[in-house]
Amino acid sequence: MRNLFTALKQDTHANHDILENTFPFSIYHKDSLFDEKAYLAILKIMSMFHQAAANAVQQAEFEVPALAAVASMINSGVIQDALNRDIIALTRDSLTEDTHATGTYTDQAYKDTHHNKPSMPYSSSPTSQAISAIYVWLGSSMGANIIVRRLNAMERDIPTNYYQAMAGCAKAWVSFKQEVDRLLPELDLENESFVADAVKDANAWFEYLISLADAEMHNNTNKAVEFS
């Protein structure tokens, strides 16, 4: 039987690459491509992902209490609070420049994000969906420190609360893998079937993120046409 984390790394690689090369995430490939509006779009996308993933993890923990140890590693309250602060700060700056904007900063921050929102990811089981969600969540935190340093080096007034909070999550990566390796035999899930389910669910989370990015760009295009 393949190790779960070896299978996840190998079999989600294609979708991981697609996501990294999908706008607006592709702005991180080159500092000169960085744009505050694209950065705001990334934060809105990640906010929706984190909300969906946290809900899936919470539901799985309710059904399988043994998942509590790994469920706590995503630190969802801190992450969402950091996202909210960054989104509101960037939206405030955008509204200052946009004489057409109306409503509060918080209203505008989320106004367009929920149109054409993709459906929730496929789920093989609550446990595989939760473990795969945490895998994608913590995996995405691994480069957070690097992103913070790059953004700070630009010497622009860019809020980085989210990536600073995610850098904290990255510290749980090794513990997460160790705890899952301990849990699988306890839950009688140390088998090829569960590995296949977890891979399928992880790819579904990546596809969800890609769909969120496509939807966010579609919304922004419609908004631009509306004010043109």
Looking at 26-40, 97-111, 192-206, which range is the least confident one? 97-111
What is the band of 155 on the pLDDT scale with cuts at 50, 70, 90? Answer: confident
Mean pLDDT score, 56-70: 97
pLDDT at 222: 52
Residue 123 in this model has a pLDDT that exceeds 50: yes
What is the Cα–Cα distance from 81 to 99, expressed in whole angstroms?
A: 28
What is the Cα–Cα distance from 22 to 158, expressed in whole angstroms?
A: 22
Closest CA to 112 of 63, 48, 31: 48
pLDDT at 154: 87
- 35 Cβ contact list (under 8 Å, min separation 6): 24, 27
Mean pLDDT score, 108-128: 71
For the beta carbon of residue 65, count every other beta carbon within 10 angstroms: 10
- 160 Cβ contact list (under 8 Å, min separation 6): 86, 147, 148, 151, 152
Average model confidence (pLDDT) across the chain: 88
- Pick the residue with more confidence: 143 or 220? 143
Note the helical H segments in the chain. Answer: 4-11, 13-20, 36-63, 68-71, 76-97, 105-110, 126-141, 144-153, 161-170, 173-186, 192-226
Q: What is the pLDDT of residues 29-47, one digit of tens each?
A: 887 788 999 999 999 999 9
pLDDT at 124: 86
pLDDT at 115: 53
pLDDT at 96: 46
Mean pLDDT score, 81-101: 75
